[in-house]
Amino acid sequence: MRNVLLVTSPLTEAKNATTYAFERAKAIGGGLVALAVLDPEVSQRVASTLTNVGFVGEKVSDSIVDTLAREQRTQAEALLREVGELAAKAGVPYTPLIEEGDPSEVCARVVETYDVQCAVLVAEKRSWLTRLLARGAAVKLPALAGCEVKVMED
């Protein structure tokens, strides 16, 4: 079965992208694979930034990394639960995935494993602070070679 891949951040509510992904999945007669990628480097980068600018000390930094990682996972689980409820109502086969690692590598593996025909990427509207703390957490499009890519801003 051909699938549609919805790639989102655990910190983003992606209503427009989710709706589009459901429509595409129905159109191709396939399922929806929703992927939340947890990039461990993001937590490290945030803690490092807070330490470098003097907001926190070295000892507190480790605690921040653990707290941010737990919060990312909790938010990803909640997001994927919501998408799952919508999938059940829409009658679309649904596979939720939470993966840790480099977003490009994770996406490339998921595209191949789940026979993805279309990937829907969520480009979030971000404040200057979010851009500063999460820079570099983008999926590189070559990782999605072989499938249609739709980038949506939510």
pLDDT digits (tens, 9 = 90+) for 70-103: 888 898 999 999 999 999 998 999 999 999 888 8
The arithmetic mean of pLDDT across residues 31-48, rounded, is 77
What is the reported pTM? 0.77
Quick one: average pLDDT of 26-40? Answer: 90
Per DSSP, the three-state class of 30 is coil
The pLDDT of residue 46 is 61
pLDDT at 11 over 90: no
Residue-range domains of the chain with CATH: 3-153 (3.40.50.620)
Q: What is the predicted pLDDT for the residue at 136?
A: 47
pLDDT for the residue numbered 21: 93
5-9, 36-40, 67-71, 137-141, range with the lowest pLDDT? 137-141
Interatomic CA distance for residues 75 and 81, integer angstroms: 10
- One DSSP character per residue, 64-107 reads HHHHHHHHHHHHHHHHHHHHHHHHHHHT--EEEEEEES-HHHHH
What does the pLDDT read at residue 102?
Answer: 82
Confidence at residue 36, expressed as pLDDT on a 0 to 100 scale: 92
Q: Tell me: the pLDDT tens digits for 96-125? A: 999 988 888 888 899 999 999 999 988 766
137 confidence band (pLDDT: 50, 70, 90)? very low
Residue 150 has pLDDT above 90, yes or no: no
